[in-house]
Amino acid sequence: MNSNANDDIKIARFIDINACKQVFSETYSTFLIRSHKYYWHIEDTDKQDRTEFQVPGENGTMETGYALLSCWTILKKGDEPTEKEWKIFEKDSPVVAIVSSPQKVYSFLYKTLNIKRKNGRIHPFFYIEHNPVNHIDKKIEKLRGTPTISDAIFTKDNKFIKENEYRFAVYYSATFHEINTYIFHAQNPYDYMDKCHFNPSSTKENASELLETLWSDDYGPFEEKNPCDIIANYDDLINRAKNGFLPSQE
């Protein structure tokens, strides 16, 4: 894919409180990419009901070992999630939305995963493709022509259309793999972030825990930043947590 495409799109990655700790409070901020099988599991959806990788192959149909995914949501208005967009993944209790652009995330992944293989290969990947997800009615045969692996990766059933998904597919360098989750160090997380928004509908407990995380003494690449510089709507976070934990700002 042309890495300069979709420059005007703003995308968001919605993360829960546990993911917030991994992104903001680890000595090394982490980024993860996951397999299709992981998403089938959390969506409690049988593989046969999904469209991904239903492409004819030498041994029946293509399976899930060709790429790992980073899944985002295309924001419809500006660079801040609407109330409706926060509710897309309401069951997952999103606390923060990391807002970015496709080009920024692509550049971060390309550089961090050493796609050019400078000084040898550290990560087992060789190519990154990114696109908005297309939606069809169940059977992938409804795609025009002969579907490719790429068609399969970027096609989902219509019942997921409300997710308005933008997807990054990171392809393995050679052999078939069965990795469920791949976690790597994001040396400078700001390389893939434009801004972060707190979910005003989060529980007071989650708001308090996020504040405690942001004010901790050990949060690696964010240690030079004040929490109000990290969270765009920091006042909303303070107001939500006002009856919970308010850490010392001394």
Beta bridge mates, 208? none
Q: Binning pLDDT at 50, 70 and 90, where does residue 1 land? A: very low
Coil/strand/helix, residue 156: strand
Helix extents (H) in the chain: 17-20, 36-42, 83-86, 102-112, 149-153, 204-214, 227-230, 234-241
Statement: residue 58 has pLDDT above 80? no
Q: Which two tokens stand for residue 55?
A: 């492409």
Q: Binning pLDDT at 50, 70 and 90, where does residue 88 land? A: very high
Query: Which burial class, exposed, middle or buried, applies to 35 when counting CB atoms under 10 A from its CB (0-12, 13-18, 19+)?
Result: buried
Q: Please give the Cα distance from 85 to 65 (Å, whole number).
A: 30
Which position has the higher pLDDT, 185 or 129?
A: 129
State mean pLDDT over 98-120.
86
**Average per-residue pLDDT for the chain:** 80
- The tally of CA atoms less than 13 A away on the side-chain side of residue 91 is 3
Give the list of residues 6+ apart from residue 194 with CB closer than 8 angstroms, or none: 10, 79, 99, 100, 101, 104
Which pTM value belongs to this model?
A: 0.83
State mean pLDDT over 111-128.
76
Say which range, 38-42, 50-54, 207-211, 240-244, has the weakest mean pLDDT. 50-54
